[in-house]
Chains A and B, each alone.
Chain A
Amino acid sequence: MKKSLLIMLILVLTLSFTMTACSSGSQTNNQQAQTGETEKAQEVPQEVTYVSMTDAVGLSPILTNDSASSNVIREIYETLFMRDPKTGEIKPLLAESYENPDDNTWIIKLKQNIKFQDGTPFTSEAVKYTFEKIMDPKTASPRASLLKSVSSIETPDDYTVVIHTKEPYGIMLTALAHDNLSIVNPKADQNGDINKNPVGAGTGPYKFVEWVPGDHITLEKNPDYWQGAPKLDKVTFKVVPEMATAVSMLETGEADFLVGVPPEQLDRLKNNPDIDVIEMQGNPTRYLGFNFEKKPFDNLKVRQAISYAINRDAYIATLNGLGYKSRGIIGPKLFGYNEEIEQHGYDYDPEKAKQLLAEAGYPNGFKTTLTVGNTDVYMKMAPFIQAQLKEIGIDVELNVMDWASFLSYCKAGNQELCLNGWMNVTGDGEELLYPQFHSSNIGASNYSRYNKPDMDAMIMKTRVTVDQNQRYNYIREANIALTDDVAWIPMFNDVVTLAHRKNVKGITFESNGEFRLNDAYKE
C-alpha cells in the first residue's frame, strides 16, 4: 500500500510540473483572448510583425547587400529615384527632376522641404556625402560598382546635384533607384554607427527604435514624413529561421505577414480563412549554369542537347504554382524583355538531345558533376536534372555544399554544371547581363566564365547608352543571343508570394519579392 502511495506521489509531482505550467498558460491566454476582444471593440493597434528567415546584416545602405537588411533599409531610407511597382517605370522619389546636358552629365534637382528623421534638412550635400562615401575604397561598400562610372559630384546649390561620369552611363537612373544608393544623413553617420543604430539616418516613413541582433528590429512611424505620416505606429521585423514555425505564427496571429512561401506550405496558408496569399509573377530566375571553360560545355551542341533533355514543364508542375516558364534568360518582368524570345530556346525533346550529343562526339554520353548549394530550391531541382540527363546518357554526380563554399567554388571556376539563381533589385535586364556575362566579372559574379568579345561589346552598349529606347533594344538583342547560345538553361522564374493576415491591408508588393509599408494599416 505504502509503495503504491509512493509511486502515485512521485507520478503526481512529476506530471503536476507540466500540467501547472500548461493550465496557467491556458488561463493567461484566455485572459489575453478576452482582452483582445475588448481591444478589438475599441481600436485595433496599428502594429504589424513581419517574420524573416534571416536577420539583417546591418542597417546602413552603404555597407550591406542582402535582402533581409534591404527590407528594413527601404522603410528607413529613400533613394533619389524608384521603380514604380505597377508600371515598372523609373520615377523621381527624393529627386524632383533630372536632365542630361550631355551623355556624361546628370543634373538632378531635389525636392525641397524634406527632412531627415532627426529634423536635419535633406539637401544636395547629403547626396554628395553618401555617394562619395560609397565610392571611397576604404569604405569597402559591397555595391560600390553602382557608382563605378562616376568621376565627380558637384553641388551648385542646396537642391541641385551634378553627377559627372567618366563615360556615358545609361543605367544611372536604374542605379539611383537601387536600395544601396539610399541617401543617408551625414550628421547621423558622423555622430554614430548607422549600421547598428540608424537613429535619424533616413528620410523614410519609419524611424529606427531598436535592434536586438538575432531576434528583432523595431521601427516606429515617422510623424513628420514628407509624404504624410504612415498609418502604422510600429513595425517589428522578427527573425524566425524555420519556415514551418513562421507559418504557424502567421496562423496564430503572432505574425502579420511573410514573403517567400514555399510550395509545401502554400495550400496550408491558402486554406486558412484568416490569411490571404498574394501570388505574382516575379523576376527571380533559377537556372542550370555551365562552366564555359570546361569541356564539353564549351560545345554549343552539348549545351543544346542538355537543354532539350530537361522537361521544364514537368518540373514547374511540381512547384504548386510557384514557378512559371520563360524561354529567355531575361524574364518577362525585366526591362529589356520582349515576347519574341518565347520563339527561341529549346523545348523538351530527348531524341533530339541524343542526336545532338552524338553529333557533338558523345554518342554514349559522358560523366559530369553538378554543384549545388544546399538550399531547398536547388536541392529539390538537382535530382530532377540528374534523372533527366541520365535518360540521354549523361551521368551526373551531385556535389552538394553550403552556400558560402558554393559561391567560392563557383567563382573560382571549379564547377562543371551548377544550379543558381538571380534576383534583380532594379528590374533592369542590364543588372543581370553585366555581372553574369561580361568577361570582366569572371572570378566574381560571372559564374559561367562566359567570355565572348561580341557579347562584352553588346553588354557595354546596354550600360553606356543613355537613350532608354535604344537601351531596351540592346538588352533585347543580348537576350536573344544568350538564349540561342544556351548561356544558361532557365529552369523557371519565381512566382513571388506574400502571405498576410486578412486584417492587414495596403502592403505594396513588388515582382522582385520586396515590399513597402508606406500605405499599410491594420483593420
Chain B
Amino acid sequence: MTGYIVKRLLQLIPVLIGVSIVVFLMIYLIPGDAAEVIAGPTATAEEITNIRIKLGLDQPAYVQYFRYMSGVVRGDLGYSFQTGQAVSEAIATRYVNTFGLALFSALIAVIIGVTAGIISAVKQNSWFDHICMSISILGISAPTFWIGLLLIIIFCVELKILPISGLSGQLWTWDGMKHMILPAITLGFNSSAMIARMTRSSVLEIIHQDYIMTARAKGLSEFIVIMKHAFKNALIPIITVIGIDFGSLLGGAVVVESVFAINGIGRLMVQSINARDFPMVQGTVLVVATTFVLINLMVDIIYAAIDPRISYK
C-alpha cells in the first residue's frame, strides 16, 4: 500500500507541470494583460509600458514561464501582479475558508443524501421515495445562486435568525459556524441530491440480490441486513461521487462564495483570471489540482479499506 501511495504522489509531479503549462498558455493567449488592467481605462501607452516592464511582462513567454517555475520549485509561488501580495499567503487564508465550507457542506450532503437515498431504496415507490426524488431533481437543477439568495431573504432578511455575510472569526467557533450554515446548506443541497440518487440506485441494485434474501432468511434484523449487507456493498459508487463532489466543491464554490461574500479560493481564482494576474491564477489552480489529486488518492485508499477484494501493490 505504501508503495502505491508513493507512486501516486510521484505521478502528481507531471500532472502539476502539465497543469501549469496549460494555465500559463491560457492566460498568455487570451487578450489583455495585467498591466492594462492595473493601469485602467484612462492610462496612456507609456504608463502601460512602464507597468509591463515592472512586472516582467515585456519578456518572452518562455522566460516568463521558467522564471515563475524556478520559483515554484523553490517553494515560492510568487507575488500577485495586481496587489503585490505573496500568492502563498493569499491562498492560505482563503484555502482555510473554502476547505471549511466544502467540508461542512459535504457533511450536510452526505448525511442528508445517504439517509434519503437508503430510505428511498428500502421504501421504493413509496410517498417518501417520490418526495425525496422530486426534491433531488430540484436540488440538481436549481441554480446555486438562486437557492442562496432565497435562503438569505427567508432566514436573514425576513426571519432575521442568521447573518448574511461570509465568514466571521474562526471557522470552528460558534460565530464562524453561524455564518457557515446558509452557505453550507446552499452548496450541500446540490451535492446531497446527487448523493441521494446515487445511493438509492446503488442500494436498489444490491437489495435485490440473492445474498440479501439469504441474510433475511437467516432471521437478521432489517437494520443489519440493510446497513451491514446492502449498504456496505453499495458504498463504492457512493464514495466515488462524494470524492469527486468534494474536489469540485473546493474549486467550484465560487458562486456560493460570491453570494455569501466568503473570502474563498474560488472567488480569488475568478478575480485573478479577470485581472490576468498570472501568478495568482497559477497558484490557485495548482493548489486546487493538488487537492483534487489527493482526494482521489484518498478515495482509492478507502475503496481498499471497505472492499477486501481491492488491493494495491
Q: Which residues of A does B touch, CB under 8 Å?
A: 2-3, 6-7, 10-11, 13-14, 17-18, 21-22, 25-26, 28-29, 33, 54-55, 57-58, 65-66, 137-145, 193, 195-196, 212-215, 238-242, 244-245, 248-249, 251-252, 254, 401-409, 411-412, 420, 422, 435, 440-441, 443-445
Question: A445 touching B44 by the CB < 8 A rule?
Answer: yes
Closest B residue to A59 using CB positions: B83
Least CB distance, B125 to chain A, in whole angstroms: 15
Cβ of B101 to closest chain A Cβ, rounded Å? 14
**Smallest Cβ distance from A373 to chain B, in angstroms?**
10
Cα–Cα distance between A186 and B210 once the two chains are bound (Å): 83
Q: Is the CB of B263 within 8 A of A407?
A: no
Contact A7/B82 with A142-B51, A144-B46, A407-B32 known, Cβ cut-off 8 Å: no
Closest chain B residue to A67 by CB distance?
B40
Interface CB pairs A-B, < 8 A, 11: A2-B223, A29-B160, A140-B53, A196-B83, A212-B93, A248-B157, A404-B32, A404-B37, A407-B32, A408-B31, A444-B44
| Segment at the interface with A among B17-25, B64-72, B161-169 | B161-169
**B216 sits at the interface (CB 8 A):** no
User: Within the complex, what minimum Cβ distance (angstroms) separates B218 from chain A?
Assistant: 16
Check: B261 CB closer than 8 A to any chain A CB. Answer: yes
The answer on a CB contact under 8 Å between B181 and A22 is yes
Residue from the list B46, B152, B164, B275 in contact with A145, Cβ < 8 A = B46
Q: Which residues of B contact A (CB under 8 A)?
A: 30-33, 36-48, 50-51, 53-54, 82-85, 90, 93-94, 108, 111-112, 115-116, 118-119, 122-123, 128, 145, 149, 152-153, 155-157, 159-166, 174, 177-178, 181, 185, 221-223, 258-261, 263, 267-268, 271, 274-276
Q: How far is the CA of A221 from the CA of B301 in the complex (A)?
A: 56
The answer to whether B259 and A242 have CB atoms under 8 Å apart is yes
* Cα distance A440–B118 in the bound complex, in angstroms: 71
Cβ of A242 and Cβ of B164 under 8 Å apart? no
Residues of B within 8 A of A401 (CB): 31
Task: State A38–B118 Cα separation when bound (angstroms).
Answer: 50
Q: A244-B259, A405-B30 are in contact. List 12 more A-B contacts (CB 8 A).
A: A21-B177, A54-B271, A142-B47, A144-B47, A145-B44, A212-B263, A214-B271, A241-B258, A242-B145, A254-B163, A404-B275, A412-B31
Residues of chain B lying within 8 A (CB to CB) of residue A411: 36
Q: Are B181 and A21 in contact (CB under 8 A)?
A: yes
User: Do the beta carbons of B40 and A28 come within 8 Å of each other?
Assistant: no
Give CA–CA (A426, B20) in the complex, Å: 43
Q: Considering the complex of A and B, which 10 residue pairs feature the smallest CB-CB distances, nearest first?
A: A404-B32, A408-B32, A140-B50, A140-B54, A215-B263, A408-B31, A214-B263, A405-B31, A26-B161, A240-B261
- Looking across the interface, which residue of chain B has its beta carbon closest to that of A28? B178
Bound Cα distance A138, B5 (Å) = 49
Query: Which listed residue (B36, B50, B156) contacts A407, Cβ 8 A?
Result: B36
**Which chain A residues border B155 with CB–CB below 8 Å?**
22
A142 engages B164 (CB within 8 Å): no
Most buried by A among B32, B112, B221, B274: B32
Q: How far is the CA of A213 from the CA of B93 in the complex (A)?
A: 9
CB distance from B182 to the nearest CB of A (A): 10
Contact A14 B43 (CB under 8 A): no
- In the bound complex, do residue A443 and residue B32 qualify as a contact, i.e. CB atoms below 8 Å apart? no
Give Cα distance in the complex from A386 to B164, angstroms: 39
**Residue of A11, A26, A251, A402 touching B157 (CB-CB under 8 A):** A251
Residue in A18, A193, A215, A409 with the greatest tally of chain B CB atoms within 10 Å? A215
A445 touches B42 (CB 8 A): yes
B149 touches A241 (CB 8 A): no
| B157-A443 in contact (CB<8A) | no
Q: A252-B157, A407-B36, A409-B31 are in contact. Are A138 and B43 (CB under 8 A)?
A: no
